[in-house]
């Protein structure tokens, strides 16, 4: 019998050791964390056995913020300091936020930063920080349950999230001390959880109506590859809006003046609306009541009335129809007829509504699938993807090919948008387009990056602005400025502008106009670490050592596998860089380790590129055998 190997304490563990990974569904109303154990995705409960963490954070005068159910209890008594549905505000500017709701429950302050803050007793808080509190809570839950530090997580985002919203989600994860393996689109995660990879080939629709967002994705499955064909949706339409419209009706029926309602009364009305909506799933009619107390009347002044199912449908049908318009557009973009669809998977708590199921079923001519709890399916899918990405299933065939939801372009003369990458382009994606100067002798060029489908810049979302300077003076129209957009697998954009004749170059990792700056994040990180009493220097050193181990292991195994792709000269350069890095890795200077990593990277890049080419070519050679 072969003896099992045990590594020395403190030494790098065996490469195939099981790593801890989790999937996080950071939802508008509820958030969840899941992991894969014994081959199955499991939602991790808190100590009280609850799976759903209400996405509610309450800021207190002293001490750490409260998160979850305990915070939610204060929603009515302490509305200003209790933040719920923060996902609606992430990556948004103040103007957008105010446009979304006629009357916001929170006091937003316009700060120096481009990111709006919410005024609380604990200070002005950005939506990213609120999200980070929710993530920290889930991280702690996972690490306590699993008994170790998480190597990495997959966080889900609505497919229709734009670049700013995605970047802000990643920023929140960074603040929470999480290593993000991938941002995964919620509908795609749901498809994975449904195990659509297990033999159900064909075209599937994921209809995802959450608390605050709506997404529709159409994807084709083929031998474990999930290929998203199109996606559409609305990041400001969800179950919350159904509640809001019912609440408005209640207020009107009760004869109240909406502008005179206190924040607490508003919250109470929304809760009553939600209760009535849920009760009407079973009942034809439900009694409703509202406290009409505004201080001027006796304490027990209560309005009572009733809401019928017919009335409810009249209120919510227009909103459901809006989601079906998105479905129609997604079908068109995918070039698919309704009849080609295998099934429709329902995701998100709001798809519990019988009316939603009925109208969706009618639209797609089929009975929607509701086998998995619509609240849990996204987290489960994220956990499966995290398990694969972290390296626990090296032979898994699953691959997710997702798309960008909205076109990316830049502003040209006249306030018009020139699209560079169209919506529903598969990511990663890279595209370049040439532009030129407008005036004689023009030496600088302002690049304004926007996202959206409309022709006018003013109708699109502004993502970032940067300048390309130092263009040599030329006659108007003679300069050749190549603007390159690259979207990575998380759906995040970086932009390069380069004047082709002079070679002047400018690059931006698009830091969204409504995102936190790197400096702001660093400050927040420092503050949070001083709370946690974690030594920043130690953390930086550890990060570099992990990266060093990673590249050493990768290059070493590449040499073992493909030494024939290396010339003797290259081999000796790599060997030198390798031994230098090994030496630095055991030292305590993170900068020196970083330099040595870069040196090894430079020495081995061509080799890595050749190996990748070879592996693609060998994948193609397999086809020759299959097909002929």
Partner 1 sequence: MHAADLSSNFFALFDLPVSFDIELDALSARYRDAQRAAHPDKFANAPEGERRLSVQMAARINEAYRVLKDPLSRGRYLLELHGVALDDSDTAFDGAFLMEQMELRERLADVKNSADPVSQLRIIADDIAAHDKSLITQMADLLNEASAESLQQARNVSRKLQFFRRLNEEVEALEDELGDY
> Phi first, then psi: what are they for 24, rounded to 5°?
-120, 125
Residue with tokens 């603007």: 483
Residues 528-547 that bind partner 1 (CB under 8 A): 547
Residue 68's closest CA among 137, 131, 118?
A: 137
Q: Is 476 in the site for partner 1 (CB under 8 A)?
A: no
* Torsional sign, CA 142, 146, 151, 155: negative
The string of DSSP letters for 591-609 reads HHHHHHHHHHHHHHHHHHH
Indicate which single residue of 426, 458, 500, 572 sits in contact with partner 1 (rule: CB under 8 A): 426
Q: What is the rounded CA–CA span in Å between residue 187 and residue 377? A: 9
Active site residue 87: yes
Q: Is 203 in the site for partner 1 (CB under 8 A)?
A: no
Q: Which of 129, 163, 171, 208 is catalytic?
A: 208
222 or 310, CB closer to partner 1? 222
Indicate which single residue of 430, 446, 536, 561 sits in contact with partner 1 (rule: CB under 8 A): 430
Q: Is 591 in the site for partner 1 (CB under 8 A)?
A: no
The region of 73-81, 158-166, 210-218, 596-604 touching partner 1 under the rule CB under 8 A is 596-604
Residues 329-368 that bind partner 1 (CB under 8 A): 329, 332
Q: Is 481 in the site for partner 1 (CB under 8 A)?
A: no
In the three-class reduction of DSSP (H, G, I as helix; E, B as strand; rest coil), residue 246 is classed as helix
Q: Is 601 in the site for partner 1 (CB under 8 A)?
A: yes
The region of 128-136, 162-170, 300-308, 485-493 touching partner 1 under the rule CB under 8 A is 485-493
Q: Which of 186, 215, 240, 243 is catalytic?
A: 186
Q: Which of 87, 170, 277, 511 is catalytic?
A: 87
| Min CB(41)–partner 1 separation in Å | 17
Active site residue 112: no
Q: What is the rounded CA–CA span in Å between residue 343 and residue 369? A: 7
Tell me the residue length of the chain: 628
Q: Classify burial at 146, counting beta carbons within 10 Å of its beta carbon; exposed 0-12, middle 13-18, buried 19 or more.
A: middle
Q: Is 488 in the site for partner 1 (CB under 8 A)?
A: yes
Q: Are 431 and 485 in contact (CB under 8 A)?
A: yes
In the three-class reduction of DSSP (H, G, I as helix; E, B as strand; rest coil), residue 187 is classed as helix
Q: What is the rounded CA–CA span in Å between residue 4 and residue 17? A: 13
Beta-carbon count within 10 A of 124 CB: 15
Residues 108-167 that bind partner 1 (CB under 8 A): 152
Count of residues that bind partner 1 according to CB under 8 A = 62
Q: Are 78 and 49 in contact (CB under 8 A)?
A: no
Q: Which tokens sit at 147?
A: 């008994």
Indicate which single residue of 74, 311, 425, 595 sits in contact with partner 1 (rule: CB under 8 A): 425
Active site residue 25: yes
The region of 98-106, 195-203, 342-350, 600-608 touching partner 1 under the rule CB under 8 A is 600-608
Q: Are 275 and 250 in contact (CB under 8 A)?
A: no
Indicate which single residue of 222, 478, 500, 523 sits in contact with partner 1 (rule: CB under 8 A): 222
Residue 56's closest CA among 101, 123, 120?
A: 120
Residue with tokens 């860089």: 577
Indicate which single residue of 149, 314, 358, 397 sits in contact with partner 1 (rule: CB under 8 A): 397
Active site residue 186: yes
| Min CB(40)–partner 1 separation in Å | 21
Q: Which tokens sit at 13?
A: 């563990």
Q: What is the rounded CA–CA span in Å between residue 513 and residue 493? A: 13
Indicate which single residue of 73, 119, 391, 465 sits in contact with partner 1 (rule: CB under 8 A): 391
Active site residues: 25, 87, 186, 208
Q: Rule CB under 8 A: which residues touch partner 1? A: 152, 181-182, 222-223, 225, 227, 232, 322, 325-326, 328-329, 332, 388-391, 397, 399-401, 425-431, 453, 486-489, 547, 550-551, 554-555, 565, 597, 601, 604-606, 608-610, 612-624, 627
């Amino acid at each position: 019998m072969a003896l099992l190997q045990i590594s020395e304490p403190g030494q790098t563990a065996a490469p195939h050791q099981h790593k801890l990974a989790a999937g996080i569904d950071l939802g508008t109303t509820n958030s969840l964390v899941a992991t894969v154990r014994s081959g199955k995705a499991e939602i991790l409960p808190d100590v009280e056995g609850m799976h759903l963490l209400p996405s509610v954070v309450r800021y207190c005068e002293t001490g750490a913020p409260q998160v979850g159910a305990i915070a939610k209890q204060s929603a009515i008594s302490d509305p200003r300091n209790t933040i719920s549905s923060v996902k609606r505000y992430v990556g948004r500017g103040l103007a957008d936020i105010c446009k979304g709701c006629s009357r916001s429950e929170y006091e937003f302050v316009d700060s120096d930063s481009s990111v709006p803050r919410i005024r609380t007793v604990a200070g002005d808080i950005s939506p990213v920080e609120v999200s980070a509190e929710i993530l920290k809570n889930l991280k702690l839950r996972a690490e306590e349950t699993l008994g170790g530090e998480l190597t990495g997580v997959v966080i889900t985002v609505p497919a229709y999230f734009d670049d700013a919203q995605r970047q802000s989600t990643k920023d929140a994860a960074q603040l929470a001390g999480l290593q993000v393996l991938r941002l995964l689109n919620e509908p795609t995660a749901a498809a994975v959880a449904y195990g659509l990879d297990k033999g159900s080939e064909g075209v599937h629709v994921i209809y995802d109506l959450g608390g605050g967002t709506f997404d529709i994705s159409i994807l084709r499955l083929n031998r474990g590859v999930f290929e998203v064909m199109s996606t559409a949706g609305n990041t400001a339409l969800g179950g919350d809006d159904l509640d809001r419209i019912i609440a408005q009706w209640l207020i009107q029926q009760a004869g109240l003046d909406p502008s005179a309602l206190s924040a607490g009364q508003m919250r109470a009305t929304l809760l009553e609306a939600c209760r009535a909506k849920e009760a009407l799933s079973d009942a034809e009619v439900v009694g409703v009541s509202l406290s009409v107390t505004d201080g001027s009347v006796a304490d027990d002044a209560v309005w009572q009335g009733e809401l019928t199912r017919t009335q409810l449908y009249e209120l919510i049908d227009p909103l459901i129809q809006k989601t079906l318009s998105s479905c129609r557009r997604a079908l068109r973009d995918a070039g698919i007829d309704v009849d080609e669809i295998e099934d429709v998977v329902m995701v998100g708590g709001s798809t519990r509504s019988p009316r939603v199921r009925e109208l969706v079923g009618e639209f797609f001519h089929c009975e929607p699938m509701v086998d998995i709890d619509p609240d849990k399916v996204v987290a489960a899918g994220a956990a499966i993807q995290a398990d694969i990405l972290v390296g626990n299933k090296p032979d898994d065939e699953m691959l997710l090919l997702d798309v960008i939801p909205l076109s990316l372009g830049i502003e040209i003369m006249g306030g018009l948008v020139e699209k560079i990458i169209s919506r529903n382009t598969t990511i990663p994606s890279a595209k370049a387009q040439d532009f030129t100067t407008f005036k004689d002798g023009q030496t600088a060029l302002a690049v304004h990056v926007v996202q959206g489908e409309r022709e006018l810049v003013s109708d699109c979302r502004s993502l970032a602005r940067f300048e390309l300077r130092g263009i040599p003076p030329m006659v108007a129209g003679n300069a050749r400025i190549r603007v390159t957009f690259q979207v990575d697998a998380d759906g995040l954009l970086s932009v390069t502008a380069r004047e082709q004749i002079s070679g002047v170059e400018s690059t931006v990792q698009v830091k969204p106009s409504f995102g936190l700056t790197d400096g702001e994040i660093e400050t927040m990180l420092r503050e949070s670490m001083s709370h946690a009493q974690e030594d920043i220097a130690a953390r930086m050193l550890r990060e570099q050592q992990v990266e060093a181990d990673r590249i050493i292991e990768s290059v070493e195994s590449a040499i073992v596998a493909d030494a024939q792709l290396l010339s003797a000269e290259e081999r000796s350069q790599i060997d030198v860089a390798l031994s230098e890095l090994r030496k630095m890795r055991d030292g305590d200077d993170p900068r020196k380790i970083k330099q040595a990593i870069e040196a090894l990277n430079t020495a081995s890049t061509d080799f890595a590129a050749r190996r990748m080419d070879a592996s693609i070519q060998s994948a193609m050679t397999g086809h020759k055998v299959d097909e002929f």
